[in-house]
Structures are given as structure tokens and as C-alpha cells.
Chain A
Amino acid sequence: MSTIDAQTRVSDPAQPGWKRYKFADHFRNAEDEFDACKLGFWLFLATEVLLFSGLFCAYAMFRVKYPEAFAAGSHHLNVWYGGTNTLVLLASSFTVAMAIRCAQLNNQKWLRINLIITIICAFLFFFIKLNFEYIPKWGEGIRPGLLYSNPFAGDPMEPIWWSVYYAATGIHALHVLIGAGLLIWCLVRSFRTTQYGPTHYTMLENSGLYWHLVDVIWIFLFPLLYLIH
């Protein structure tokens, strides 16, 4: 047991979760723990960016090699679905930033409202992606690689474009779902124990960072996939 454990702990169950929170034993104080978690999470975000870097790299190489195929394939995508999805993600990024602000100011009601909006946006994004893009495209035979069976390819190399498209957006969509899962978990904890408040909101902050990162990736994917001519 540390001799410099300075935090006063409140174990009264009537208190909100963020007041009852007790930092892990091997840290000196809650501040140190928060910093450590955040540094760890930034490192994790770096790994996420580098995971996507592989997809961006594949995109770049194939775009240099097959520019016509990329232009032809991109024309099958509707800018308005992509644009709407961009706005949806931007809006959710804003609300999650607001949610963290609410936690810092102990505004529990708006914290939850903002989180709910964010989660709705996440599923809206996924719904638009799935319902207006993946399913119709798959039905038209516009599929990745050897599964490609659309007779009206604009360019002989179009299947490669669709492979890159499905890989990039698919892995991004997976991240959207993971991010939504994290935020739902935050919301549940907020409802159950009022877990996040001015002195403790590590999990919320990190989930928010994750969500922003998903947004940033999409900010780059959107013009690369939808705005080629």
C-alpha cells in the first residue's frame, strides 16, 4: 500500500460513481492514472492510424497504377450518401466533444443526451453505408475481387478498385461499430452509476478520442473514395 496515497475516498453508495472512484493501487494519484491512461490511449490511436495506413498505401499504389479504374469505380458511388455520412460523423464528433465537456462540468443530463445523439449518429452512418451502398452494390454484382460479377465495368481493372473500397470502408465500418459499442458502454455506466464527472471521466474521454479518430479516418476516406473524377 502506497504511503503517499493522498486521495480521500468516498465509499458512500449514495454518492455518484465519479466521486466513489478509487484509482489503481500502483499509481500515485488519480491525476497520474488519468495521464497514463490517456498516453496509453494515444499510443493505441497511433496503432489504429498505422493500421489504416496500410489501406491508404494500397489505395495510393493502385490509384497510381490504375487511375481510370479508380475514376470509373468512383462514379458508381453517390457523393450525397458519402457527404451525408461525413456530416453525420462530424455531428457525432461534435456531440461527443460536448459530452466530455458536460462530464467536466458535471452536467449529467446533457452528458447522456449528447452520448445518445452520438450513438444514434453512429448507427445512422452504418445504416446508410449498409443500406444504400453495400447491399445495392453487392446485388448489382459489384463485389470485391473474384466475386465481381457486374458486366458493366467502366474499366477492366475496376474489380481492384472495389477490393480497395470494400477493404477500406469495411474496416472503417467495423471501427464505427466498435466505437459505438464503447460509447454505449459509457452510456450504460453513466445511467447506472453516474460514472463520469469532473474528477473522473477517463473512459469517456478515451472513447471520445476513439470516436474522433474514426471521424478523422473518414474525413480522409471520403474525398479519396467519392470525389475522384
Chain B
Amino acid sequence: MTTTTITDSGHDSHHDEGSYLTPHKGGAFATIIQWATTIDHKKIGMMYLFTVLGMFMLGGVAALLIRAELWEPTRILADGTITGQLFQSDSTSGYLTYNRLFTMHGAVMVFLVIVPGAPATLGNFLLPLMLGAKDVAFPRLNLLSWYIYVLGAAFAVMSLINTGADTGWTFYTPYSSSHAGNTYGNIVMMTTAAFILGFSSILTGLNFIVTIHKLRCPGMGWFDMPLFVWAMYATSIIQVLATPVIGITLLLLIFERVFHVGIFDPALGGDPILFQHFFWFYSHPVVYVMILPGMGIATELIAVHCRKPVFGYRAIAFASLGIAAVAFLVWGHHMFASMGELANAVFSALTFFVAIPTAVKVFNWIATLYKGSIALNTPMLYALSFLFLFLIGGLTGLPLATLATDMHLHDSYFVVAHFHYVMMGGTIIAFVGGVHHWWPKMTGKMYTEWVGIVGCLLVFIGFNVTFFTQFFLGLQGMPRRYASYIDEFQLLHQISTVGAFTLGLGFFIQLGNFIHSLIAGKKAPPNPWGGLSLEWYIESPPSEHNFHAEPILTHGPYDYEDVYPPHCDPADFPLPEPKPEGNAAH
């Protein structure tokens, strides 16, 4: 198949229609109203992007403050003076501030950045475009989920202003429910924030599942969807099935905190371990809510920037579903220290199953890269960083899943490094790469390539310096969540802190690059990278209605061997030798 494949009849009229970014004719106020009441998935996606970005900065600043505090161990000298105390002169309240900061960092990053990040921004923007639909199935619900997100964020910020919670993002009972050290309202507020954000997550997931089921364009079967959509599908299943449990958990925690109902309070005969089961039944699957979209983005980036069909399409698609299934079986590995031996052994064994679908994906990505014409531009560098970092993150999960080694490593910096490699090195890196990849489509502007590459390299180096060090710290016994440590750890902590600020610098360079691109960027062509999925068939930025006529799909999203990418000069895309007959249509 080498023919033009998408009906493009209404192409001439699109200049009149204007892009979805065109401001309202009635001026700035009318434009704001128009955005605030929009049900256009692209605008909602952009609104999510900017709110998530704001929250990311909040969480990031907290992270940098934590790292700054750890530059020096807190010591009380012989003459009574305290060193290394960044926040307060009095060490007790200084520790409290430290606890609040890491709680804020964790809660904001998990509930407000990583979980909604990729699905609600890129997912919202791209899912209907990739499926050839005009919008998601329930556009008003989509807008509602954004408002719920903003409400949840407001609660989180209110809790922060009200001195903040100091429980850690996991809200373990009985500390969170009845300890006198916490002031009354802030825990409830932070918990309420997480509770509210759960609704936003459920609504997004539900919306996407229905969209994928019902709004695929004509000709698009399940196995003609881009793999990003498959990843979103698996993500949404987890969101729908796991999030309600955190809802009831946090609701019971609020009851516990306000009425002292005793369900989780051991002093009243309740069971704090039950809280951990409840909490991790959601919060482990949600780890895959975080990483699956990252995997989907990486698949797209690798395929497009290698200009090669994805190796093992169905394997990657089913691996996404496999991860979603395994996600519900392994939560106990967060609780090895608090469960009985039988449960520990069962959960440990089940945890290793996660490695299978994950490894399937990694091998397929590598096979896709093999002999591809790799373009080492910013998105591809991010995709390669993702592969490298995610691999480390995944493999360091194995000693944590093994009971014997976990008894040594649990609650140490090894764990911190492990999940940062997965969540940040995996999800955030893939997400930022995805934003670079689709930035021309979303905004209609190109960013400066070399700045992007510099930013990416800084992020990559800064990230590894920050967190690879922490593996050593953890192995040597540095416990997590401590504001103070013994002097022997100081060098490694300082290296880690330097890395963290490098990482921050890298992100700021990217932010500057994006802002510069919005103000003075070159106009983006419809298909700067030569992608084949449907979003590249329309102009950048897309018009209000996405497609001028309903597209009819006649080829897969990665059929680079058969199809010229749209809107591209065929000279840029030399086709391989024609295949022998009978092999062409597979």
C-alpha cells in the first residue's frame, strides 16, 4: 500500500476554521471564559498540562529543599549549637518541617503530577486524535474531571498553607489517625485532596475506556491502534478498578481522624495493617498507572524516530494488559515488614511476575531500535534515556521483591533510588520526551533543537548523579525520610544534592525552551517527525473539530515499510526494497 490513505476532502476549508488555539473574538475575558467552559479535549489537555506543570514545580521545589537540607547532617555540637539546620534554629521543629516537606513532595508528585500527568495531558490531547475521533466519549465529564483536579490541588495547597501534613504520602495509621503531633485539620485536608483527586482519575479512566471502545474511526480495529492508546487502555482499566479502593480507604481514614471510629486504630482494637492492605491495593496498581503511559509514549517515540515498524506489536499491546492484570496481585511487597510469612512468600513470588510483561516490552523496544534509522533528536534522546533509566529502575526492583534482600534494603535509600528510577526516570522522562515529541502538534510551534538536547543531557546526567548515588547510600544503611545522618554518608549526600540541582537546571532550561518556542518559535509543519498515526495527518495545531472529514484508516500506525508519512517529502523517506508478493499485506 503506497497510496494516500486518509480522505482529505475538506482540506481547503481549514484556514477559515482556525485552530483550537485561536482566541475568542470577544477579547481576553471571553477567551478565558471560552477556555474555562470548553469541552474540547485538546483545550482540556492543555489546561491539564499547565496545572500539572505548576504542581510539578511545587513538588520539585520541595525536592530541592529536601536535598539542600541533606547537604549537611544535623548535629548538635558540644557547645549546644546545631549545624546543618536549614529550616529552623530549633531542631525539633526543623525535623517537623523536613517531614512536612517530604510529605508534600511525595503527595504532590504522586497524586497531582505523575498519576494524572501523562493520561490527563497527553492522553486527553492525543487519544481522540489517534483514534480519529472528534472528542472523547464524555466531553463534559472530561471538563468536570479537570475541575475536580483543581479542587483537589486546592485542598492540597490549603493543607500546605495550614502547616502541612507530616505523615509521608502513605498516611500510615495510627500516626495519621490519632497521633497528637499532627494538628487537627491538615491531615484531613491532605487526605481529602487525595480522595477528591481519585474521582478525577476515575472519570478520566472511564472516559478513555469508552472512547477507545466506541470512537475508533472506521477501519481501525483493536490492533490498528497506536500502542500509546493500548497503554492508555491498560492504564484506564487500573484507574477504574483500583481508585475506588483508595476512595473508601481515605474516607475511613477521615472518619478515623475525625470520629475515631477505631477501624484502623489499634488502641480501639482496630487494625493498622488493614489500612496498609487497603492503601496498597490502590497504590501499587497506581504505580502502573504511572508507568504504563510512559511505556506507551516511549513506544511511539522509538517507532517514529527510528522510522521502523514496532517489533512485536501484539506482544507490546498484550504486555500492557498483562501489567495491568499483575498490578492487582503484588501490593503486598510494600508490606513485607508487617505481614506474616505465608503472605510474604506469596506476594514475593507474585511480584516477580511483573518482570515478564515488562521485559517483553523492553526487548521489543530494543528490537525496534535494531537497524532502524535512528534520529538522535530531543524526543529520541528522551526515549533512550527512558530505556536506560527504566531498565535500572526495573532491575533494582528484583532485590526489593526478594524477601531476604528486602529485609536489609527496605525503608532505605535503595528503595528511594529504585522508585525514583521508575517513576521519574521512567514516567517523567518519558512524559517530558512525549511533550517534546507532540509539542509542535499541540502548540503549532517548534522548539529550539539544540537547547532541547542540552536540557535532556543535563536532566539525564543530573538524574543519575542524584539517584545512582542513593543506591550506595541505601546499601550502606541510610534510612529514608531522615533529616539527619551519620557523618560517613555526607559525601554521597552532597553528590546527590549536586545532581538534584543539575536536574533542576535541566528542567528549567526545558521550560525556558518551551516558553521561547511559544513566543518566538518557528511555525511547526503538520508532521515534523514523519509519524504515521492519525494525529500527524492534520495541521498543527489541530482545528477545533480535529478532522475535517471523518478519517478512514487503511494502514497501521507503524507501517513505515509500506506507507509514506503524510505531509512529508517522499525524498526524506526512501522506501525499502519492495517486498515479495503475498508478504505485503500482513
A160-B262 in contact given A40-B138, A46-B240, A50-B245 (Cβ < 8 Å): yes
A164-B263 in contact given A54-B248, A55-B248, A146-B268 (Cβ < 8 Å): yes
Report A-chain residues with C-beta under 8 Å of the C-beta of B247.
51, 54
Measured CA separation A156–B262 after assembly (Å): 13
- A62 interface residue, CB < 8 Å from B? yes
Residue ID in chain B nearest A163 by CB atoms: B261
Task: Assign chain A's interface to a size class.
Answer: 35 or more
Q: Are B259 and A145 in contact (CB under 8 A)?
A: yes
Residue ID in chain B nearest A43 by CB atoms: B206
- B1 interface residue, CB < 8 Å from A? no
- B194 interface residue, CB < 8 Å from A? no
State which of B269-277, B525-533, B558-566 sits at the interface with chain A.
B269-277
Measured CA separation A99–B268 after assembly (Å): 47
State which of B103-111, B208-216, B309-317, B409-417 sits at the interface with chain A.
B208-216
Which chain A residues numbered 14 to 73 have a C-beta less than 8 Å away from chain B?
24-27, 32, 35-37, 39-40, 43-44, 46-55, 57-58, 61-62, 65-66
Closest CB in chain A relative to B140 CB, distance in Å: 9
Looking at chain A's contact residues, the main secondary structure is helix
- B60 interface residue, CB < 8 Å from A? no
Q: Mark B137-153, 1 if CB is under 8 A from A, else 0.
A: 11101000000000000
State which of B249-257, B453-461, B465-473, B494-502 sits at the interface with chain A.
B249-257
- B515 interface residue, CB < 8 Å from A? no
Other-chain contact of A4, B244, B274, B550 (Cβ < 8 Å): B550
Closest CB in chain A relative to B405 CB, distance in Å: 30
Q: Are B214 and A36 in contact (CB under 8 A)?
A: yes
Residue ID in chain A nearest B264 by CB atoms: A58
- B243 interface residue, CB < 8 Å from A? yes
Residue ID in chain A nearest B10 by CB atoms: A3
Report B-chain residues with C-beta under 8 Å of the C-beta of A66.
269
Residue ID in chain B nearest A158 by CB atoms: B269
- A147 interface residue, CB < 8 Å from B? yes
Report B-chain residues with C-beta under 8 Å of the C-beta of A171.
248, 251
Looking at chain B's contact residues, the main secondary structure is helix
Closest CB in chain B relative to A59 CB, distance in Å: 10
Q: Are A25 and B262 in contact (CB under 8 A)?
A: no
Measured CA separation A35–B210 after assembly (Å): 9
Report B-chain residues with C-beta under 8 Å of the C-beta of A197.
none
Closest CB in chain B relative to A37 CB, distance in Å: 8
- A222 interface residue, CB < 8 Å from B? no
Q: Are B270 and A160 in contact (CB under 8 A)?
A: yes
- A10 interface residue, CB < 8 Å from B? no
Closest CB in chain B relative to A127 CB, distance in Å: 24
- B567 interface residue, CB < 8 Å from A? no
Measured CA separation A61–B133 after assembly (Å): 46
CB < 8 Å A-B pair total: 128
Other-chain contact of B241, A25, A40, A50, A58 (Cβ < 8 Å): A50
Closest CB in chain A relative to B136 CB, distance in Å: 8
Other-chain contact of A58, B137, B243, B252, B260 (Cβ < 8 Å): B252
- A208 interface residue, CB < 8 Å from B? no
Residue ID in chain B nearest A44 by CB atoms: B206
Q: Are A61 and B278 in contact (CB under 8 A)?
A: no
- A221 interface residue, CB < 8 Å from B? no
Closest CB in chain A relative to B401 CB, distance in Å: 24
A145-B260 in contact given A36-B214, A50-B241 (Cβ < 8 Å): yes
Most buried by B among A24, A58, A156: A58
- A2 interface residue, CB < 8 Å from B? yes
Residue ID in chain B nearest A40 by CB atoms: B210
Report A-chain residues with C-beta under 8 Å of the C-beta of B255.
144, 163, 167
- A81 interface residue, CB < 8 Å from B? no
Q: Are B214 and A54 in contact (CB under 8 A)?
A: no
Q: Are B248 and A40 in contact (CB under 8 A)?
A: no
Measured CA separation A40–B550 after assembly (Å): 23
Report A-chain residues with C-beta under 8 Å of the C-beta of B139.
24, 26
Measured CA separation A24–B137 after assembly (Å): 9
Other-chain contact of B260, A4, A25, A146, A156 (Cβ < 8 Å): A146
- B319 interface residue, CB < 8 Å from A? no
Report B-chain residues with C-beta under 8 Å of the C-beta of A217.
none
Q: Are A36 and B137 in contact (CB under 8 A)?
A: yes
Q: Are B137 and A159 in contact (CB under 8 A)?
A: no
Q: Are A3 and B549 in contact (CB under 8 A)?
A: yes
Report B-chain residues with C-beta under 8 Å of the C-beta of A156.
269
- B202 interface residue, CB < 8 Å from A? yes
A144-B241 in contact given A25-B134, A40-B137 (Cβ < 8 Å): no
Report A-chain residues with C-beta under 8 Å of the C-beta of B406.
none
Other-chain contact of A26, B206, B215, B245, B265 (Cβ < 8 Å): B215
Other-chain contact of A145, B134, B214, B248, B262 (Cβ < 8 Å): B262
Report B-chain residues with C-beta under 8 Å of the C-beta of A37.
138
Report B-chain residues with C-beta under 8 Å of the C-beta of A147.
259-260
- A124 interface residue, CB < 8 Å from B? no
- A157 interface residue, CB < 8 Å from B? yes
Q: Mark B266-297, 1 if CB is under 8 A from A, else 0.
A: 00111100100110000000000000000000
- B135 interface residue, CB < 8 Å from A? yes
Closest CB in chain B relative to A204 CB, distance in Å: 18
Most buried by A among B241, B259, B549: B259
Q: Mark A128-141, 1 if CB is under 8 A from B, else 0.
A: 00000000000000
A-B contact pairs, 5 of them (CB 8 A): A24-B139, A62-B263, A144-B259, A163-B270, A171-B251
Known pairs A58-B263, A145-B263. 19 more at Cβ < 8 A? A1-B545, A2-B550, A26-B133, A26-B215, A36-B137, A37-B138, A40-B138, A40-B141, A40-B209, A43-B210, A47-B202, A50-B245, A53-B245, A58-B274, A62-B263, A144-B259, A145-B268, A160-B270, A163-B270
List A residues at the B interface (Cβ < 8 Å): 1-4, 24-27, 32, 35-37, 39-40, 43-44, 46-55, 57-58, 61-62, 65-66, 144-147, 156-157, 159-160, 163-164, 166-167, 171
